[in-house]
Amino acid sequence: MAPEGERATEAAAERSSGKPETTASERVHAGRAMRENDVVLLEMNDGERATFATLRAGKVIDLGKRARAPAEAFLGAPFGSMYEARHNTGEVERIGATTEVINEETDDEEAFAAPLADERSNKNVPNTEHGAQTLTDSEIAALKREFTGEEMVEIIAAYSKTFEEKTAFAQEKYKARKLKKHMTKILARFPSPRVVCEQYFYENPSKTSYMRFDSLSMLMNMANVGAHGQTLVLETCGGLVLGSIMHRMGGFGRICNGFVGTNPTGMEVVQNMNFDPTHYDSVRHASLSGLIEARQKGAVEADTTRAKSMETTEPSTAEKKERVYMKMKFANDGDMSDFTQHGFSSLVIASLSVEPKAVLEQLLPLCASSASFAVWFNASQPLAEAYYYLRNSNLAVNLSLVEPFLRSQQVLPGRTHPVMTTDAGSGGFILSGTYVGGVNTNTPIEANKKPKREENS
Amino acid sequence: MAPEGERATEAAAERSSGKPETTASERVHAGRAMRENDVVLLEMNDGERATFATLRAGKVIDLGKRARAPAEAFLGAPFGSMYEARHNTGEVERIGATTEVINEETDDEEAFAAPLADERSNKNVPNTEHGAQTLTDSEIAALKREFTGEEMVEIIAAYSKTFEEKTAFAQEKYKARKLKKHMTKILARFPSPRVVCEQYFYENPSKTSYMRFDSLSMLMNMANVGAHGQTLVLETCGGLVLGSIMHRMGGFGRICNGFVGTNPTGMEVVQNMNFDPTHYDSVRHASLSGLIEARQKGAVEADTTRAKSMETTEPSTAEKKERVYMKMKFANDGDMSDFTQHGFSSLVIASLSVEPKAVLEQLLPLCASSASFAVWFNASQPLAEAYYYLRNSNLAVNLSLVEPFLRSQQVLPGRTHPVMTTDAGSGGFILSGTYVGGVNTNTPIEANKKPKREENS
Amino acid sequence: MSHVRGTMLYASPAPETDRERLIRENDLVVVVEGFNAAVAQRIRIGETFVSRHGRFPHAALVGVAFGTKIRASDGRGFVHVCAPTPELWTKVLAHRTQILYAPDIALVSAEMELRPGSTVLESGTGSGSLTHALARCVAPTGKVWTFEFNETRVKAAEEEFRANGIDEVTTVTHRDIERDGFPEELASTADAVFLDLPGPQKCVASVARSLRPNGVLCTFSPCIEQVHKTIVEMKKHGFADIKTVELLGRHYDVEGRCLQTDLSAPLSKETKGGWRKDQKRPRDGATEDSASTLTETVVAHPQQRLQSHTAYLTFARLIPAPENWTETLAERAKTSESGNEEVLKRAAEFLAKRRGTKKRYRPQSDAPKQPSKHVISNPDDYSD
Amino acid sequence: MSHVRGTMLYASPAPETDRERLIRENDLVVVVEGFNAAVAQRIRIGETFVSRHGRFPHAALVGVAFGTKIRASDGRGFVHVCAPTPELWTKVLAHRTQILYAPDIALVSAEMELRPGSTVLESGTGSGSLTHALARCVAPTGKVWTFEFNETRVKAAEEEFRANGIDEVTTVTHRDIERDGFPEELASTADAVFLDLPGPQKCVASVARSLRPNGVLCTFSPCIEQVHKTIVEMKKHGFADIKTVELLGRHYDVEGRCLQTDLSAPLSKETKGGWRKDQKRPRDGATEDSASTLTETVVAHPQQRLQSHTAYLTFARLIPAPENWTETLAERAKTSESGNEEVLKRAAEFLAKRRGTKKRYRPQSDAPKQPSKHVISNPDDYSD
């Protein structure tokens, strides 16, 4: 682990130089060029589908629905670039922001009436579009080989029996739908924690335990995760929470990835976040029971700690493989003693497998006095029990149990309303607070009748 | 209790007559004239404050903030009428719908920018209004004795140092605020369950256990409360839930107000709802343990039932007083036997004092096969435990645990958004389902291995 | 009145003794196949209900009590046969349009203050989801007049209402309410009106004619712009007490869950793989032989798939105007226009006299106004 | 880097051994007086903090560990002295304006993808509630440039930022961003921009100039009409990936509760009077000597008093345009206008040829169009 002082000096040097913030920003900003071995999230047609891709020269990336693109189409362009994949030629062309210019000033009767009828399943007239196309499927397929996506849309509209009867609004909508079918728009996203979290949440949520992005953001803030902190994390969200902490701390400070049992759980998600070695170097895996034992024994009896930490550094082959790939080390004796001596400034817990109350009871004593902690769960009750315990045992203040209620809004002329259905109906619940059980001394004005020590062990 | 058949005949007669629905509607509609002894909810200035008043000739009603009105001002006018109380003269004058005609077409910059600054606490300029008035308080008081509310507003604006510097929008708002101060607008509401529920919820919520109106409405619907039903209710919401059931059943069918222990809890809220004797006559108070016992003993052994029901008909003096006032009787032997023989078609539970699981376990067997039930609680966990029990013991199907999430919306030109803060942050949770444990016979294709009986007792 | 069979109008108790309500031919039955899966069946001897759970001949259901658990004739699985209610009907009905769901239906019914004897108008009928609940509210002496623009849907609704027995209090009519308004015969008869139309603002005037004094108008509009237009019309036509709300029904999943408390033991199968769906908990708190470090607990969490918006519900009341109100209003408007200066003059005189009397002098209101100390450099944007 | 005292920029561990962080003079301390009641105190020897809990001389706090429970010098009550964090600061700061609260702050910080080294622009500074959290995100190598229109607030913020130690990475400037835009010196330097202004649409062009490629713009607007105007501008200025959300923090109360299970016993004091607030439950599950029919349980229920709306948060990304994109766009527009007929002609030829080849004849596209079978009587209202 790089000594704290070194990075601090570097930071100070940057601050004192001519345009320090630009330099530092340049190094981390999400609009930098895509480079060999970078992971990029390719998002098709505004979220219709998406795929993580590692950019390697010569590689052809499968975009789904028979679309493909060579890695070279992306390498060298800034993250955040947008592309069009043309189905007729197989070309991938870089474009700018959306070309559709909607006349937002139109606020006439049509814009009000039409979308209403439209959105509420054509409540007023049966859907006549079906079967209104005079071109056969095979003709359309043949035309696609000759014409571009935009051209196809014009052709298909011209051969529709009902197109001309539609209102201008409905024609617009019809064309947009057809365009989507014949041309793929690609957004090359930098895999920030926000982007990675949303991608898993909507596509593979069990991998990240249904962690929603707003909840993840609250975990970071409520636990006061930031540079130069010493953060203990217990998560079974595939590494998403760990990655988010790494991103927030930027290699400044130390992260202890505490695990239940003898081996860390899978942390594959971290690999998708384009972290540099500095970030990986700030993380140590450590067995939670080892940490607890080391803390109880104290620094003077380091022997047992060593034995324990040695034990936990013998992972299975599969585990080893992952560990090597992720460039994260297991805590050694020095790390363990550092962790337990200084205590953690932040504690983050995000797991549906462990009981929040029991875990807090065991892990809070590893924290520094006045440390911030935040616990996520997808139901309120286990957190309520923990809350009740912490309040009644005077282990924490500033306790708060919050359910983040997030809603997306459609904002369109005459058609503004919250989105109708969502797969993000719950972001879970977050218990947070300030640990006040970690004080050893009885000051002259200390109020407690019995020493704090007793309560915390 | 009036025999079912009698009312049914009456209803049938109404249906076959010339304009039957008008007649029936006439009798119950909420816009009928206010009569002697009616309860009316007088709501001042769009909900600024409100008071229940019983209209008795010669009575002077206190409207709060030193405003008063004679009952005669209301008697004879339709419920729903609107009034202005003028502070300078003490007059109460009946008016029509709001006189303020807002120019809703105005959608200019001002309407956008001004309210924003305004709503977000004058974020851009310090509040200069304070101290800008050149009239002294005593002068204003003297003027009020000479001028009407509208006139006062004009005078006060003219003597404000800052009024002319305000935008037209801010001037409008300033005047509206001043008008509120010098004139009271009164809405004479019919005390429907909706109106009564909201009044208690915002003014005296502990009386009705924080029952929110949308939750109350869901209790009625999910428990399938309607005419000709036989409804069992256990509530400690001051009579609000019972009253809502009486309103829904309109005197058709029977209601059993089941109570815990030996006496009904307070049901005063029912008195505010202007029910006629037919409504009161459809209700019987009964001890829940008495009902359970009667059900277990069966109709053949009615003796014990009688003893029990006799016992519960000896209320304390205070209880007696209330009972008499409310014109509701205790169940006699015949009622008890009717209730237990036919079973209840609907079960409604709304109490923060009893455990939902235990109560459902004991009361569901009193229901008819395929009866609907709905239980309200202000936290999800006790209902979740009940849900889990009912599902695993196969006592109910169509189980649903719902949290109604209600939000009010401000709709104004350029200033549309959900209301910023609310005192209605929770409506509680509702568990509902269909009781399927009440079937006695093993039909040829009946699937259960052991008789249902055993499970329900 | 005896038990009304095969209709869902009345939540009657069991007419037979011992709490059983028996299924007869032509009854409507809601067959519950499992969690959140149900279908409607009209009992016809000779017909058979076939599902993934097996075959269920209708004949075998006759004489069985509503609520019974029925095993398939081919022994494969079982279903529950439930009595229909408006809420169950909403779950099983044929969708001819988007429909209203239970929370909105409940709120609408109650905010419109419906009770036996009420008259309510509805447009459009749509799939009849709301209509059934309205009929239950106003039965047996009230009336639901429901109007639908689409003739095919009118026919389908008519048939359904008859079969379900709500035709006793419900009449469905083919009519374009936005264009033609409600029928004049219904003027001043309605206690409440419900509008679910693309342009509700077009018929507010007609609604005002149809309502009794203090009647309630409720509109159901998905988009906020529509709400705005409708409220403008409401204010023009004598409505007040206007409020707009939205109601989400947040459904919760309930599950038994094993949580680990010992941090030294590896995460077990029970705790690692997420939720143990539908696993039954032993009755009476008897614990399984699982490791002692597992705490079993029941949890409720909101479902991820959520109807996150249905529509904005706007409620307004028709305020009964006093006699000659129109004239009074006009007079008031005149006074406020011309009377302003006159009032200020009178006030100035009154004040001058009073100030003289009290021997206290204050700056006159006509003294030159001082500029505000807080100069705003960009007054267009930053007005208070 | 050693522990940074008296600032809330770094969540440092305890530099002393045994997990204690000690309070020194000039440190900022958040004094927690009870549930949801806290105040900020700057430690100055000689000063005394006085509250309803008693008197707390600052001198007595020096050398005490953050997190300690302190009894008042007059023995009346106690408080906890906590280390400041941006979240605690949001609870105790002086309100000069409406402020952002924890949930919005968390979402904004994270959606803007802030990390150590990022550059972020903010307008307006307001009470500095968000600024502190932004500073924590970008420290130690990043930068927060925050702009405020009101000079008094600029001065107050400047002083606060210095005292709280976030001035290391934060600069507050007096500037009217709506009128003047962001400074040209900051062009293409920002990773993210946050706007909380009455007219954010007025400065979208300036934001586009200030952002790096793929930078994020976030606007905070209470009213939906404002959001609409801003999105129109965003689309004009090269932004895409636009989304609007709102986030409510629903706070829950947690209480121990006695629930009665026996229906024959009268409701007891414990169950009748609502919640038993803050009553402690005996540890280790030892039950009280209450009647056996009382079940004690911990429940969480949403608080009734709720911030039910703060603002709509709109996020958008500046899409890095390829070289010559403006020219390409213009060309495309030209093609789509003139090229339409040409394309259709080519398509007709292609189809004719193909149909000839395949010997299949189909109705020509130029055949007279048949009227739709579904005649719409009021096409203005009922278009599909």
pLDDT single digits (tens) B260-298: 998 888 889 999 999 999 999 999 999 999 999 998 876
Residue found by looking up tokens 């209840």 in the block? B344
Question: What integer pLDDT is reported at residue A101 of this predicted model?
Answer: 42
Q: How far apart are CA B260 and CA A258, in angstroms?
A: 51
Using a pLDDT cut of 90, give the percent of chain C over it. Answer: 62
Residue found by looking up tokens 């959608």 in the block? B107
Establish whether the linkage from the previous residue to C140 is cis, with ω within 30° of 0. yes
Q: Is residue B45 situated within a structural domain?
A: no
Does the pLDDT at position B197 exceed 70? yes
Strands (E), A48-137: 49-54, 60-64, 67-70, 82-86, 92-95
> B378–D267: do the CB atoms touch at under 8 Å?
no
Question: What integer pLDDT is reported at residue B180 of this predicted model?
Answer: 66
* Closest-approach residue (CA) in chain A for C295: A355
Look at A170-179, A404-413, C356-365, D204-213 and tell me which has the smallest mean pLDDT: C356-365
Residue A275 and residue A161 share a domain: no
Which residue stretches of chain D have pLDDT < 50?
1-6, 273-291, 359-384
Residue A206 and residue A178 share a domain: no
Print burial letters for A211-230: b (CB count within 10 Å at least 16), e (below 16): bbbbbbbbbbbbbbbbbbbb
Q: How far apart are CA C130 and CA C140, in angstroms?
A: 17
Q: How far apart are CA A375 and CA A429, in angstroms?
A: 8
Residues of C in contact with B439 (CB under 8 A): 20, 65, 67-69
Residue A277 and residue A364 share a domain: yes
Nearest chain C Cα distance for residue B263, angstroms: 26
Number of H helices, E strands in chain D: 9, 15
Which of C368 and B382 is assigned the larger pLDDT?
A: B382
CA distances from B397 to B433, B435, C301 (A): 6, 7, 19
> D384–A117: do the CB atoms touch at under 8 Å?
yes
Q: How far apart are CA A161 and CA A131, in angstroms?
A: 9
pLDDT band at C17 (very low <50, low <70, confident <90, very high): low
B381 touches chain D (CB under 8 A): yes
End position of a domain, from candidates A182, A212, A234: A182
Question: What integer pLDDT is reported at residue C22 of this predicted model?
Answer: 87
Q: How far apart are CA A145 and CA C374, in angstroms?
A: 68
C205 touches chain B (CB under 8 A): no
**A201, B401, A424: which is closest to C305 by C-alpha?**
A424
Question: What integer pLDDT is reported at residue B89 of this predicted model?
Answer: 65
Q: How far apart are CA B159 and CA B145, in angstroms?
A: 18
> B404–C250: do the CB atoms touch at under 8 Å?
yes
> D301–B426: do the CB atoms touch at under 8 Å?
yes
Nearest chain C Cα distance for residue D123, angstroms: 15
pLDDT band at A150 (very low <50, low <70, confident <90, very high): confident
Question: What integer pLDDT is reported at residue A108 of this predicted model?
Answer: 38
Does the pLDDT at position A8 exceed 80? no
Does the pLDDT at position B311 exceed 50? no
Nearest chain A Cα distance for residue D259, angstroms: 17
Question: What integer pLDDT is reported at residue D327 of this predicted model?
Answer: 82
Does the pLDDT at position B162 exceed 90? no
Q: Enumerate residues 6+ apart whose C-beta is below 8 A from A162.
A: A128, A129, A132, D372
Does the pLDDT at position B110 exceed 80? no
Question: What integer pLDDT is reported at residue D344 of this predicted model?
Answer: 83
Question: What integer pLDDT is reported at residue B8 of this predicted model?
Answer: 41
Nearest chain A Cα distance for residue B381, angstroms: 7
Question: What integer pLDDT is reported at residue A121 of this predicted model?
Answer: 33
Q: What's the structural domain count of chain B?
A: 2
Q: How far apart are CA C34 and CA C78, in angstroms?
A: 9
Residue A309 and residue A247 share a domain: yes
Question: What integer pLDDT is reported at residue B173 of this predicted model?
Answer: 72
Q: How far apart are CA A172 and CA A188, in angstroms?
A: 27
Does the pLDDT at position A328 exceed 90? no
Q: How far apart are CA B196 and CA B204, in angstroms?
A: 11
Q: Is residue A10 situated within a structural domain?
A: no
Task: Quote the crossing angle between the two packed helices A302-312 and A333-342, to the nearest 10°.
Answer: 120
Does the pLDDT at position B164 exceed 90? no
Which residue range forms the structural domain that includes residue B382?
205-456
Which of C304 and A26 is assigned the larger pLDDT?
A: C304
> C272–A353: do the CB atoms touch at under 8 Å?
yes
Residue A407 and residue A437 share a domain: yes
Strands (E), C170-291: 170-174, 190-195, 211-221, 239-260
* Closest-approach residue (CA) in chain C for B248: C115
Q: What is the pLDDT of residues B58-88, one digit of tens each?
A: 999 988 877 788 999 999 999 999 998 876 6
Q: How far apart are CA B63 and CA B376, in angstroms?
A: 34
Average predicted confidence (pLDDT) for chain B:
79
Does the pLDDT at position C87 exceed 90? yes
Identify the CATH number of the domain in which residue A290 sits. Answer: 3.40.50.150
CA distances from D82 to D62, D89, D130 (A): 13, 11, 20
Look at A303-312, C126-135, C184-193, C340-349 and tell me which has the smallest mean pLDDT: A303-312
| Domain assignments of chain D as residue spans, ordered by start | 1-84, 91-245, 328-355
Using a pLDDT cut of 70, give the percent of chain A over it. Answer: 74
Residue B298 and residue B233 share a domain: yes
Q: What is the pLDDT of residues B342-369, one digit of tens each?
A: 899 999 999 999 999 999 999 999 999 8
> D179–C224: do the CB atoms touch at under 8 Å?
no
Residue A156 and residue A281 share a domain: no
Instruction: Reduce the DSSP state of residue C26 to 3 states and report it.
Output: coil
A119 touches chain C (CB under 8 A): yes
Question: What integer pLDDT is reported at residue B158 of this predicted model?
Answer: 82
Which of B20 and C193 is assigned the larger pLDDT?
A: C193
Question: What integer pLDDT is reported at residue D357 of this predicted model?
Answer: 58
Question: How big is the CA angle at B223 (ends B220 and B229), to the nearest 5 degrees?
Answer: 90
Which of B235 and C277 is assigned the larger pLDDT?
A: B235
Q: Is residue A123 situated within a structural domain?
A: yes
C93-245 has which fold?
Rossmann fold (3.40.50)
C176 touches chain D (CB under 8 A): yes
- Range with the largest mean pLDDT of A324-333, B370-379, B413-422, D23-32: B370-379
Rounded mean pLDDT, B381-390? 96
Q: Which chains touch C (3 or more CB pairs under 8 A)?
A: A, B, D
Query: Of A21, A43, A125, A378, which to mutate for an interface test with D (greatest number of D Cβ within 10 Å)?
Result: A21
B421 touches chain C (CB under 8 A): no
pLDDT band at A318 (very low <50, low <70, confident <90, very high): low
Q: What is the pLDDT of residues A247-304, one digit of tens each?
A: 999 999 999 999 999 888 888 999 999 999 999 999 999 999 999 999 887 644 444 4
Q: Is residue B93 situated within a structural domain?
A: no
Q: Is residue A90 situated within a structural domain?
A: no
D91-245 has which fold?
Rossmann fold (3.40.50)
Q: How far apart are CA D33 and CA A449, in angstroms?
A: 19
Residue A451 and residue A326 share a domain: yes
D1-84 has which fold?
Vcp-like ATPase; Chain A, domain 2 (3.10.330)
Q: Enumerate residues 6+ apart whose C-beta is below 8 A from C261.
A: A354, A355, A358, A359, C293, C294, C295
Question: What integer pLDDT is reported at residue D280 of this predicted model?
Answer: 40
Question: What integer pLDDT is reported at residue B121 of this predicted model?
Answer: 33
Residues of A in contact with B384 (CB under 8 A): 381
- Range with the largest mean pLDDT of A38-52, C293-307, D173-187: D173-187
Question: What integer pLDDT is reported at residue D20 of this predicted model?
Answer: 80
Residue A427 and residue A354 share a domain: yes
Which of C235 and D357 is assigned the larger pLDDT?
A: C235
Q: What residues of chain D, 255 to 284, have a C-beta less than 8 Å from chain B?
A: 257, 259-261, 263-267, 271-272, 274-275
Does the pLDDT at position C235 exceed 70? yes
- Range with the largest mean pLDDT of B102-116, B410-424, D176-190, D258-272: D176-190
Does the pLDDT at position B160 exceed 90? no
* Closest-approach residue (CA) in chain C for D224: C224
> Which amino acid is located at C282 in the chain?
P
Look at A317-321, B384-388, C119-123 and tell me which has the smallest mean pLDDT: A317-321
* Cα dihedral D153, D158, D160, D165 in deg (nearest 10): 160
Give me the residues paired with residue B367 across strands: B344
Question: What integer pLDDT is reported at residue A324 of this predicted model?
Answer: 46
Which of B57 and A311 is assigned the larger pLDDT?
A: B57
B384 touches chain A (CB under 8 A): yes
Q: Enumerate residues 6+ apart whose C-beta is below 8 A from D32.
A: A397, A398, A434, D38, D79, D80, D81, D82
Which of A152 and B301 is assigned the larger pLDDT?
A: A152
Using a pLDDT cut of 90, give the percent of chain A over it. Answer: 51
Can you read off the two tokens belonging to residue C234?
A: 């409401």
Can you read off the two tokens belonging to residue C183?
A: 């029928």
Give me the residues paired with residue D30 across strands: D40, D82
Q: What is the pLDDT of residues D25-38, one digit of tens each?
A: 889 999 999 877 89
> B116–D259: do the CB atoms touch at under 8 Å?
no
Does the pLDDT at position B310 exceed 50? no
B170 touches chain D (CB under 8 A): no
CA distances from D128 to A44, C226, D137, D196 (A): 38, 38, 14, 12
Residue B420 and residue B349 share a domain: yes
Residue A234 and residue A139 share a domain: no
Residue A297 and residue A418 share a domain: yes
Q: How far apart are CA B439 and CA C118, in angstroms?
A: 36
Question: What integer pLDDT is reported at residue B87 of this predicted model?
Answer: 66
pLDDT band at A143 (very low <50, low <70, confident <90, very high): confident
